[in-house]
Amino acid sequence: MLRSNIIGTGSYLPAHTLSNHELSKLVDTNNDWIVERTGICSRHIATEETETTVFMGTKAAQNALEMAGLTADKLDLILVATFTPDYIMPNTACQIQAAIHATNAFCFDINAACSGFLYALQTADAYIRSGIYHSILVVGTETISRTIDWQDRSTCILFGDGAGAAILSASHTEKGFLGFLSGSDGSGGMALQLKNRPIKNPCRPTTKGQPDSFPYLSMNGQEVFQFAVRKIPEMVKSITDQNQLSPEDISHYLLHQANLRIIKSVAKRLSLPEERFPVNLSECGNTSAASIPILLDKCYRNGIIQLGSYILLSGFGGGLTWGSALLKL
């Protein structure tokens, strides 16, 4: 059976970090308050002009290509998951294509917020299973710091910048992705939102009091929390059942790194030890679509996940959206 399999991963994090202590100088908060509620101690912030969404995605892609032993001209497709592109057009994938000289790839972006990387993986897997493409680069890259109101402690404590990438290749072995689950619920979309830049159109009257500045990301944290701790266990049970496995058969769960309380709650609901849930939340914060691939790269490079084991990737985000992927190494 033709499957897609990961043959290389890569990531990039900005050098500059913002600790909770430093953040407390910007907004009314403190280290203990943040750690208790989120598990986050610091986050990476893109401070250099060159550290754009494209730049970070390019670095992660190059690292993934190096691990895979693949040259960029062998790529058939580039998919980029992001909600913080540098440009509305051209898309981020095309800009990364140009940067890495992937002259034979076609490219497009996917915006599903924190679920974006999983949506992109499922899309890549479908192209490979269909036989249309053989080698696909999937990137999650975000500069969320550009969208944050640094006086809003309900959001500014949570997010960081970064990028992660994976190379998927066609495989005729038992290894690779065994299945995916994904879904959306637009009725809950306003729980996590970022409005577009206000329109200035001479043919359209300006709404009285319309802001001229770029709007900020906003979130109903309690609603998102309740959604996540309900939806992730549901997905885990569904995708393991579909593959004649149980949650206990999964070696490691790589969850979207949004909040440590969510991860602990999911582990408890599944009656699994927290050791099966690797985290990098403490030093990275929530990097949205980059969250899972950054963690995946860390797990590959540090030997946390082993050949022959099952791992499950699972995330949730704005939309509302959710997705899971079951992988046999």
Rounded to whole angstroms, the Cα distance separating 219 from 35 reads: 19
Which tokens is 234 given? Answer: 């549901």
Cis peptide before 320 (omega within 30 of 0): yes
Question: Which pairing describes strands 17-19 and 42-44: parallel, antiparallel, or unpaired?
Answer: antiparallel
Rounded to whole angstroms, the Cα distance separating 50 from 135 reads: 28
Backbone angles phi, psi at 163, to 5 degrees: -150, 150
Residues designated catalytic? 114, 256, 286
Rounded to whole angstroms, the Cα distance separating 52 from 45 reads: 11
* Encoded amino acid at 231, one letter: K
Could you give the count of Cα atoms lying within 13 Å of 240 in the half-sphere of its Cβ?
A: 20
Rounded to whole angstroms, the Cα distance separating 284 from 294 reads: 9
Rounded to whole angstroms, the Cα distance separating 35 from 259 reads: 10
Backbone angles phi, psi at 20, to 5 degrees: -60, -35
Rounded to whole angstroms, the Cα distance separating 262 from 227 reads: 10
Distances (CA, A) of 254 to 184, 277, 295, 297, 304: 20, 6, 7, 11, 11
